Amino acid sequence: MALMVDPAPLEAPRFEAMRHAMVASQLRTNAVNDPRVVTAMSRVPREAFLPTDQRAMAYRDTLLPLGNGRRHDSPLVIGRLLTEAELQPTDHVLLIGAAGGYAAALLSGLVASVVALEEEPSLLAIARGGLAGAANVELVQGPLNAGWAARGPYDLVVIDGAVEELPQVILDQVKIGGRVVSGVLDRGVSRLAVGRRTEGGFGLVDFLDIEVATLPGFEKPRKFTF
């Protein structure tokens, strides 16, 4: 996979030092223990997938503003999601909430193919630049809450953000036996969760309480009281 070269090459050593510090202090100490995921996160330049004014913050353990109400998850969130996903080299993956393309870049070196779905034009522009040369990533634009049925079914769906409710239209795009990893939002508390689709249905199991960026379009219908 060929990734975009950092536009400020003189800063590359500084970013590399911050990237390795992130791996040592944020990932290895917090159960990101799949060596494939750790290796990918130690190599992929996260700063290349962020708006220019956020690149200096690329390796901080915090959510970053992306504009228009969107935020970028911390490195630990995507590290834990990919670890719990039990990635297989043959996986066909749908990534929902691709943002600037960082998670897609990580996945591209770990699975067979990735459909990266984003709806925000400004983020798509960043992703197109950063993912240039990643031949197994297809970047598509559309509502996040609709998934991308045209390329399904998928072995794995990765939702890089917190949702209140998983629409059935997305679950229908998961193969029987396929997996879903996602952030979930329950009464204002965000968590990470993993699930598997079976012939009998689907359910998510929480595995970590952590701050997760909320994705638009996944709100539960509100009940009216009189």
Which of the four pLDDT bands, split at 50, 70 and 90, describes residue 226? low
Confirm if 180 and 157 have CB atoms less than 8 A apart: yes
Which of the four pLDDT bands, split at 50, 70 and 90, describes residue 7? very low
Q: Answer whether residue 15 shows pLDDT above 70.
A: yes
User: Which pLDDT does position 19 carry in this prediction?
Assistant: 96
User: What is the per-residue pLDDT across 104-147, written as a single tens digit (0 to 9) for each?
Assistant: 999 999 999 999 999 999 999 999 999 998 999 999 999 999 99
User: What is the per-residue pLDDT across 200-209, written as a single tens digit (0 to 9) for each?
Assistant: 999 999 999 9
Quote the CA–CA distance of 14 and 39 in Å, as a whole number: 18
Which of 1-10, 22-31, 112-121 has the least mean pLDDT? 1-10
Q: Answer whether residue 9 shows pLDDT above 70.
A: no
User: Which pLDDT does position 5 carry in this prediction?
Assistant: 44
Quote the CA–CA distance of 22 and 45 in Å, as a whole number: 12
pTM of the model: 0.92
User: Which pLDDT does position 28 carry in this prediction?
Assistant: 92
Confirm if 189 and 164 have CB atoms less than 8 A apart: no
User: Which pLDDT does position 183 carry in this prediction?
Assistant: 98
For the chain, the farthest-separated pair of C-alpha atoms sits apart, in whole angstroms, at 62
User: Which pLDDT does position 80 carry in this prediction?
Assistant: 98
Which of 86-100, 152-166, 186-200, 210-224 has the least mean pLDDT? 210-224
Quote the CA–CA distance of 162 and 115 in Å, as a whole number: 19
Find where tokens 């690329």 sit: 58
The per-residue pLDDT of the chain, averaged, comes to: 93
DSSP assignment of the chain: -PPPPPS-GGGHHHHHHHHHHHIIIIIGGGT---HHHHHHHHHS-GGGGS-GGGGGGTTSSS-EEEETTEEEPPHHHHHHHHHHTT--TT-EEEEE--TTSHHHHHHHTTSSEEEEEE--HHHHHHHHHHTTT-TTEEEEES-GGG--GGG--EEEEEEEEEES---HHHHTTEEEEEEEEEEEEETTEEEEEEEEEETTEEEEEEEEE---PBPTT-PPPPPP--
Q: Domains in the chain, please, with CATH?
A: 9-209 (3.40.50.150)
User: What is the per-residue pLDDT across 158-211, written as a single tens digit (0 to 9) for each?
Assistant: 999 999 999 999 999 999 999 999 999 998 899 999 999 999 999 999 999 999
User: Which pLDDT does position 6 carry in this prediction?
Assistant: 46
User: Which pLDDT does position 220 carry in this prediction?
Assistant: 85
User: Which pLDDT does position 224 carry in this prediction?
Assistant: 57
Q: Answer whether residue 84 shows pLDDT above 90.
A: yes
Q: How remote is the C-alpha of 203 from its chain's centroid?
A: 20
